[in-house]
Chains A and B, each alone.
Chain A
Amino acid sequence: MNEILLAFRKAFYLIISLDRELIEIVSLSLCVSLTAILIASVTGIISASLLAFRRFPMRGLIINLLNTFMGLPPVVVGLLLYLILSRSGPLGFLGLLYTPSAMLIAQAILAFPIIAAMSYSSINSVSPDIRLAALGLGATRVQASIAVVRDARYGIISSVMAGLGRVMAEVGAVLIVGGNIAGYTRVMTTTIALEYDKGNFSLAIALGIILLLISLCINSVMYLLQRRVSK
């Protein structure tokens, strides 16, 4: 029990003293995850809009695949990405393996189906009359589509938050493609796994607390949005 309390005390000290290593790890984590979410959001929302407003061959299959990939195992993504980015792989010449860019790609791949599928569902749940109403007020087809997407904005923001929650807590894929290199590709989750192996619980607990706080922030934003919708 004393050891646990001591570990927590050290963890709080690391947070309060703004430990350099801790700050570096948190900064890299946020930088990689937020960039990945930005990429996944732009591509995911555009894909969801195309699926909602256009009719084309294989559309049903794509929607089905997106829903399936929402539960994509991170280690599988990490493994496949490793094979693609490794020196002998098709994109090995890019030299991305064991770089933050590789981690960013892995996280964007994991977040994309969540954002695309949930955004599609939100856009689809908007009444078709909204699009017709916009057209009836003189909107072009693109403007009418934007009006529908805007009407689904709270659902879309929730999907982005869900995607962010997933990538922030993800460990398998970034460990495989990032390599957990100190000061370069070491992020919060991979550090927790490593420090646990080493028996150094204080840094792991400090990062765990920060992860929980980030998760709390994400959930608070989602809660506030849901309250705004229900008002």
Chain B
Amino acid sequence: MNLTMKNVSKSYGGCVAIEDCTLTIKPGTFNAIIGPNGSGKSTLLRIASLLEEPDRGEVTYSDSTGVLKKDISLRRRIAVVLAGNTLFNDTVFNNVAYGLRIRGYKRHIISDKVHDILGRFQLSDRARRNVRTLSTGEAQRVVVARALVTEPWYLFLDEPTASLDPVNTELIEAVLREYSFRDGMTIVMITHNMFQAKRLADRIIFMYRGRIIEDADSSRFFTSPEDELARRFISGDMVW
């Protein structure tokens, strides 16, 4: 399933968030969106994941049968991890089970899937605890587990490891890598961590002031970026 964004623009109260963004995401790839704060990364992610409508331009998902209708069945092949704490005030189990329950899975299947994913994130002993009692790292692992348990074709993540220690970051990265390489899940992740982008992504999308400045293979982007702004951003010379 391909994702294509054509000339997408979005403004909030007259303030341009993204402008004329064109992008194609190929299935099975790991994509990192990088750029300074306020460059439109989160807006791009929310529009690409169908959480928001663009003011102009179009977003399409297509497969071999053609363009897919933007209905609930398409949206259920997509999962989004938003920035910040977006956990429901409930137990870890109920949070992770949410996506499966709304899809109408049977109880025993939900239980099996939730316990399996909690095991991968080393959260098995936290299943019955309220999410408010978790540490930041544990809570963030629950947020990612909650999205992954639905086994989406497209997974969008907005800074999933921001403010996490190296242990938690490594754990989340390992699971994401596993889903991407083993299951062929398409991942689009916003990150401020250049090393993380280098470690995980096949492709880098660099944004600046609402525009996509450079869109290239990870190895090429970090060794020989075409754009001067991208080069300055990578080298740390950019002052915004």
* Chain A interfacial positions (CB closer than 8 Å to B): 127, 129-130, 132-140, 143, 147, 150-151, 154, 229, 231
Contact = CB atoms under 8 A, between A and B. Distances in A.
Given A143-B102, A231-B130, A135 B51 contact: yes
A154 B89 CA distance: 10
A134 B98 contact: yes
Contacts of A154: 89
B51 A132 contact: yes
Interface stretch (B6-14, B79-87, B118-126, B219-227): B79-87
Nearest to A134: B98
B52 to A, nearest CB: 9
A205 B209 CA distance: 73
Contact of B89 (A136, A137, A151): A151
Tell me whether chain A's interface is mostly helix, strand or loop, or mixed.
helix
Interface string B12-48: 0000000000000000000000000000000000100
A136 B81 contact: yes
B82 A137 contact: no
A130 B143 CA distance: 12
21 contacts: A129-B86, A130-B86, A132-B51, A133-B87, A134-B98, A135-B75, A136-B49, A136-B78, A136-B147, A136-B156, A137-B79, A137-B150, A138-B76, A138-B78, A138-B99, A139-B102, A150-B90, A151-B90, A229-B89, A231-B132, A231-B133
Interface string B96-120: 0011001100000000000000000
Contact of A133 (B75, B86, B89, B133): B86
B181 interface: no
A135 B50 CA distance: 9
Given A134-B98, A135-B80, 5 more contacts: A132-B51, A138-B76, A138-B78, A138-B99, A151-B89
Contacts of B130: 231
A139 B86 CA distance: 14
Contacts of A130: 86, 88
* Candidate in B75, B76, B86, B130 with the most chain A CB atoms within 10 angstroms: B86
B146 interface: yes
B72 A140 contact: yes
Nearest to A141: B72
Given A129-B86, A130-B86, A151-B88, A136 B72 contact: no
Nearest to A127: B86
Contacts of B76: 138
A203 B78 CA distance: 65
B114 to A, nearest CB: 13
Contacts of B150: 137-138
A229 B130 CA distance: 10
B147 A137 contact: yes
Contacts of B102: 137-140, 143
